[in-house]
Each structure stands twice: as structure tokens, then as C-alpha cells.
Amino acid sequence: MKPRTVLIGLDGATFAVLNPLMQDGTMPFLQKFVASGTHALLRSTIPALTPPAWTSMMTGRSPGYHGIFNFFGKEAANSAHIRLLTSNDVGAETIWSYANRHDLRATVLNFPLTFPAPHIDGQVVAGGWMPWRQLRLGCYPPELYDRIKTLPGFNPREIAMDMAHEEKALEGVQQEEYEGWIELHTRRERHWFNVLRFLVENDPTDLITVLFDGVDKLQHLCWRFLDPVYAPTLTEAWEFRVRQQCVNYFAQLDGLIASIVELAGPDATIVMTSDHGFGPQVRTFFVNTWLQQHGYLAWADGEGPRPSETSVLGMKQVARHTYQLDWTRTQAYASMPGGNGIQIVRADADHPYGIPDTEYDELCAKLVAELQQIKDPETGEAVIAAAWRREEVFVGPYHDMAPDITLELQDGGLFSILASETIVSPRRPPTGTHAPDGIFIAGGPDIRRGVELPELSILDIAPLLLYSLDLPIPTDLEGQVPSEAIEPSRLIRQPVHKVTAEPKAAVVAPEVGFEDESGLDEEDEAELMRRLQALGYVE
Amino acid sequence: MQPSRDQILTDFLAILRSLSDDWEYSGELNEKTCLIADMGLESLDIVVLGANVQAQYKQVLPFSEFFAEVGQRELPDITIGEWVDFIHEHLSAQPILESKEGVAA
Ligand SMILES: [Zn+2]
């Protein structure tokens, strides 16, 4: 059996980087593939961040409906406590689970929010913030880890997340460290490819999905080595070497993509996407410093977390704002890096100094207006392109788990939640950051050849993948099958078939080690609902 | 049924044993073992272990308060005994965390 549909995820990929690499011969396979298929820009979620964006791609639902707004989430709608989100927090059905319910099997490699590994009929190896020491728990079926660890060259420390490396990358690396770091990501993609090849050769499923996230990692750190705009600024020998390493990464990736397409065979539909695009980040905006200087936030020690406090990924990250903020004098704050979200402190038993309901709207409106006035002191340019109140961008059952205000920065970047002397500081040279427009490339016997389409939505990908598997499209998916990408003969043979979404889709439960409690009586059930409501899980 | 403290300890040691083989940790595993200093775990490992505990017992536990307290210690670390105490103290009899997938539909 051969897979019918393959999704190759390239985290953060942008045509701004890929086009020159296709033109200069670094990515010959991709160039041919684009020319012989359909491509378009792919509009990301708000915020253009990895966890909400991939979750939207794999569920066909926007964040208000799936509940993933960031790597972290609030414990409850008005809670100041946050926690790392997991597969349990995904509130909409994934296409993997949907395919299973229609008797198709799926392979899920390296996607965020797949830990603990969901019980997908097929295989799951979790990605995202999956620490290498616990990768075994990120595999389903559970014995899968023992199978993949025997693969030649398999190295859990390289294939999963090694925090020491990640923290280094967030701080920025020294001149002599670039090459080792880029080579690590080059090897890492090969590890994922080896797992994929092993599974396709030994236990192929109908829907293969794999995510290569080195594209995002490289572009964050090495933007100026990749973006042709900055090519004239590369002058020293070591800079050319780093540039060459980056080019080598993409050349290797091109080879892996070619091999995957070959493994899939000529009948498969191949879709390549990114969750968001990329661009230069020219400045850092210290949101909590702005809030503090404008009287909305106070640090308990008067100073707040300094840029040297780099423990952004661990225990401290989920907790430190709870003790570093002075809750008697804080009305608004940002506790999660990445999502550009601002939280308002609502008055309750734990936060007697919070904002009463009667003053909430007024405070939000005032903040939105003031934030949009912030100017870069050097250039005079507005720092913030847009500030959205929750109800403007998030609808759905999880809207109250979203931040009260979400910012879009002028340079597309992500704000810093650390404290700083200044509100804005220039980044010289610029680093890379997320941008709203990612990529869509598709090919296969039923995909039109040599077509460029107007921008698609990230929400269109789930319907397309389901269509390619001959599955009906649930009406509650928010996107459309991009029929302009599909050969008319196929559309005639197989028109898009929509079905009313089932009110309660089958739940694919995560791995659990504790006995199931079944047979809840009515009272238990009422109590369960009450607690879920309190936690913000259901309305 | 609410698991006993012994059961929680047994469960946690079993998970740590199955995992620590993968990074060739051969030191002791008992209530006094420190997750970071002895076992070499990193801060993110502990956050993820917490997420796994919640999935295992199908309950949301106040890990962020726990981590806030640990984070303020002079040497932020947790012994296996403390971890088990925390879980035992906060587990209520009734599992309340169901996978959300599909629930919202
Ligand atoms: Zn991403």
C-alpha cells in the first residue's frame, strides 16, 4: 500500500527565502515541483505563531474554536496562572482523528501539541516542546519508540528538544557557534526523514504528515544570512561560511523532500505548507516595560525580570510573573512570550485590586488607543500595526481563554515580556521573525500544473487534505477546498461533498496510565460540567 | 478511586525508570532523589512531566503554584518525595480532565 496524501510541513517557510534558493539551483527539486504543481501564499492565524497555526491547519478551525493561542494557556478564563499546553487542550477534532473515524490510518511526525501522544490509528511521534528525555512518552503506539530507536544513527537528543540548545538559540549564538547549530538542524531533519522512511516502508498509512521545523529555527537566528536584502552586509569570511551552511541546510532539505515524494509514489497528493511566513525583526518591543511606564503594571521588586533571565522555557516561565508582579498595582501584563497577548487583571477573590467588570471595556479601549500611539524613537515609525480586542479576532467556545488584547507589531515581530531600560530597542543586525504569509505548494495527479493562486487561508488546508482522501468535508470547518488547485476532471469525478458536523465527534483520548472512571452518575456529571466550566473548557 | 500515596509513588517511579533508561541514568531512584541535581532533568522536563501527570490522572493540578514556589527557592529543584506529596495532596477522587478534542463541536 502507498500513502494517498502526504503533508510536508516546513515551519516558517516563506517564498522570500525559498524563491532565490530555487532560482540559484540550491533547491532544484522544489523548483521543479512548484513549476509542475500549484502554489500560493498561505495566510496564517492571528497570532502567526506555531501552536495556534499548526492546530488550525490540522483542525480546519480558528483558535477560538480549538483553544490554542500560544505554547502556554491560562488555567482558566480569568486566571493569572498559566501552563504549558498539551494535546489534551486541543478542543477541535484533528484531521488525523477524522481520517481514523473513516477507516483511514495516519502518521503524525513532529507536530506541536501532540504530547501526550494521541491514540491515532497509525503512528505518532510528538514534536513541539517535546524534551528528548521523554520522547518515549510522545510515541504512539507506545512500543513505537523501541522500534525507531534502533534506526541507524538515531539520536533522541538530536531529534527531540534539547533545552540547552534551544535556550542558546533564544539568546543568540556566538560567531563560532553558528555552524554547529545549523549542522545540528540539518542532521535533525534527516533523523525525522529516517523515521518517516522506516514507517512508510514498514507500515505505511493513508495520510502521512511530517513537520520539519529547522526552517523556522534557522530563519530566527540566521535571517541576515538568508534574506538576499542583507547579502551586501556579509563581508567577513565567517559570515560567508555561515551563509554557506544555511544554503547547505536548504539543499539537504530539498533532497529529503525529493525522497519523500519518491517514497509516496506517483499517485499520491503532496501538499507542502508553512504555518506562517518570516521576515526581518528590526526592533524589540518590551511590552511590560511600556505597561509599567504608563502605570498599568508594577514589579514586586521594582525591577522585573532582566534580559539576562533567559530561563524562558521551564518552570520559571510558567510561574515567575505570579510572584514578580505586584498584584496590588497591576492592571495589565503579558506573561507568555510569543503570542503578543496582553492580559487584563480582573477583580476576583484572588485579585481584589483587579479591574471590576464595569471598568473592563473602558480600560481595554484606552489601552488599544494608547498602544497604537507608540513610536520607534529612532525612526518615528509606529511600533504597533494593530491592537485587537479579544472579541474582534476570536470567536468560538474558547474565546475567553484568549488574551484580552492581541498585538500585531509593525515589523511582524513578537514582543518581549522581559523588563528593559527602554520600551523599544533596535535589533542590529536584524533577526528573523514570524510574518503572516506562509507557503502553499501542492502536486500530484489531481493537482493543476503550473498554477499560481491568490492567497489561501491556513483554514483551507484541512478541507483540501480531506478531499484528497475522498472524505466528506464537515460543514463546521471554516475554510474551503481550494478547488482552483484541483484538476477539473477530478472535481467532476469527485465533487466536494459536505456533511453536517457531528455534534460530538469521537474523542481520541491521549495516553492514560490510570484506570478509566466510567459510569458517571448524573450528579457526577453535573459536577464534572461545573468544574470544566470553571476551568473554561466548556461554555 | 483516589490513588494512595504509595500508588502515586509507584506510578511515578515506573515512569522515571522507563524514561531514565533512555538517557542511561543508573543512579538511585527513591524519595530523596532530586529531579534536577541527581537525575539531570531540565526545567522543561519537569513542566512536561507535570503535563503527563495531569493526563495520567485526568486532573488539572495546581502545578503553576507549585513551580512558582520551587522557582523562588535558592536551589530550584524537586525531590521525588515532594513531587509525590504534591500530587497526593491535590488529587481529588474524581477525574475531571477529559480530552477536549471533539467536546467543543
Ligand atoms: Zn512556526
Question: Does some domain include residue A289?
Answer: no
Check if B97 contacts A (Cβ < 8 Å).
Answer: yes
Check if B43 contacts A (Cβ < 8 Å).
Answer: yes
Smallest CA–CA separation between B50 and chain A, in Å? 9
Question: Does some domain include residue B101?
Answer: no
Going from the Cα of B97 to the center of ligand 1, the distance in angstroms, rounded, reads 28
Q: Which residues pair with A8 in a beta bridge?
A: A210, A272
pLDDT tens digits, A100-129? 999 999 999 999 999 999 999 999 999 988
Count of CB pairs separated by less than 8 Å, A with B: 186
**Can you give the pLDDT at residue A315?**
60
pLDDT tens digits, A243-264? 999 999 999 999 999 999 999 9
Q: Of A505, A507, A526, A503, nearest to A516 (Cα)?
A: A507
CB contact under 8 A, A319 and B67: yes
Contacts of A531 in chain B (CB under 8 A): 96
pLDDT tens digits, A336-377? 887 899 999 999 888 899 999 999 999 999 999 999 999 999
Check if B102 contacts A (Cβ < 8 Å).
Answer: yes
CB contact under 8 A, B102 and A504: yes
Question: Does some domain include residue A441?
Answer: yes
**A173, amino acid identity:** V
The total number of residues written for chain A in this structure: 539
Question: Does some domain include residue B100?
Answer: no
Q: Hunting for cell 483587579 — which residue is that?
A: A354
Integer Cα distance of A45 and A352 in angstroms: 35
* Structural domain count, chain A: 1
- Kindly give the pairing relationship between strand A405-409 and strand A341-344: antiparallel
Question: Does some domain include residue A41?
Answer: yes
pLDDT band of A526, cuts 50, 70, 90:
very low
Cβ(B65)–Cβ(B17) under 8 Å?
no
Question: Does some domain include residue A534?
Answer: no
- In the predicted model, what is the mean pLDDT of residues A18-25? 98
Helix axis angle, A178-202 relative to A163-171, nearest 10°?
A: 140
Provide ipTM, 2 decimals. 0.84
pLDDT tens digits, A95-104? 999 999 999 9
Ranges of beta strands (E only) in A62-215 are 72-74, 82-84, 106-109, 122-125, 139-140, 207-212
Integer Cα distance of A125 and B49 in angstroms: 17
* Structural domain count, chain B: 1
CATH number for position A153:
3.40.720.10
Integer Cα distance of A200 and A260 in angstroms: 9
Q: Which parts of chain B have pLDDT scores under 70?
A: 1, 93-105
Q: Higher pLDDT residue, A301 or A65?
A: A65
**Can you give the pLDDT at residue A79?**
84
Contacts of B101 in chain A (CB under 8 A): 87, 90-94, 97, 118, 505, 507-508
Integer Cα distance of A527 and A26 in angstroms: 59
Say what percent of chain A tops pLDDT 90.
73
- In the predicted model, what is the mean pLDDT of residues A471-500? 95
Question: Does some domain include residue A522?
Answer: no
Check if B2 contacts A (Cβ < 8 Å).
Answer: no
pLDDT band of A147, cuts 50, 70, 90:
very high
Peptide bond into A63 cis (omega under 30): no
Give the chain B residue nearest A518 (alpha carbons).
Answer: B95
Question: Does some domain include residue A115?
Answer: yes
Question: Does some domain include residue B97?
Answer: no
Question: Does some domain include residue A395?
Answer: no
CB contact under 8 A, B101 and A507: yes
Give the chain B residue nearest A520 (alpha carbons).
Answer: B94
- In the predicted model, what is the mean pLDDT of residues A396-421? 92
Q: Of A421, A179, A126, nearest to A293 (Cα)?
A: A421
Check if A246 contacts B (Cβ < 8 Å).
Answer: no
Integer Cα distance of A207 and A4 in angstroms: 6
In which domain, by residue range, is A33 found?
5-279+434-468
pTM: 0.89
Mean pLDDT of chain A: 89
Cα four-point dihedral sign A330, A331, A337, A340:
negative
**Can you give the pLDDT at residue A480?**
96
pLDDT band of A316, cuts 50, 70, 90:
low
Mutation pick from A84, A315, A516 vs chain B, by most beta carbons of B within 10 Å, is A315
Mutation pick from A134, A149, A165, A350 vs chain B, by most beta carbons of B within 10 Å, is A134
**Can you give the pLDDT at residue A428?**
83
Check if A530 contacts B (Cβ < 8 Å).
Answer: no
pLDDT tens digits, A527-539? 444 433 433 333 3
Question: Does some domain include residue B77?
Answer: yes
Say what percent of chain A tops pLDDT 70.
89
Mutation pick from B1, B38, B42, B91 vs chain A, by most beta carbons of A within 10 Å, is B42
For residue A487, pLDDT beyond 70? yes
- Kindly give the pairing relationship between strand A269-273 and strand A332-333: unpaired
pLDDT band of A411, cuts 50, 70, 90:
confident
For residue A1, pLDDT beyond 80? no
Residues, CB within 5 angstroms of ligand 1 (ion): A 11-12, 50, 216, 275
pLDDT band of A170, cuts 50, 70, 90:
low
| Burial (CB count within 10 angstroms: exposed 0-12, middle 13-18, buried 19+), residue A311 | middle
CATH number for position B73:
1.10.1200
In which domain, by residue range, is B10 found?
5-19+29-90
Nearest to A506 among B47, B65, B102 (CB): B102
**Can you give the pLDDT at residue B51?**
86
Lowest mean pLDDT across A172-176, A262-266, A478-482: A172-176
Nearest to A510 among B42, B43, B99 (CB): B99
pLDDT band of A479, cuts 50, 70, 90:
very high
Question: Does some domain include residue B98?
Answer: no
The total number of residues written for chain B in this structure: 105
Contacts of A507 in chain B (CB under 8 A): 98-99, 101-103
Lowest mean pLDDT across A34-43, A129-138, A471-480: A129-138
Question: Does some domain include residue A414?
Answer: no
Q: Which of residues 49-68 of B touch A (CB under 8 A)?
A: 49-52, 54-58, 60, 62-65, 67-68
**Can you give the pLDDT at residue A290?**
97
Q: Which of residues 3-22 of B touch A (CB under 8 A)?
A: 3, 11, 15, 18-20, 22
CB-CB neighbours of A184 under 10 Å = 16
**Can you give the pLDDT at residue A539?**
31
Nearest to B70 among A145, A315, A509 (CB): A315
Question: Does some domain include residue B38?
Answer: yes
Smallest CA–CA separation between A352 and chain B, in Å? 18
**Can you give the pLDDT at residue A314?**
57
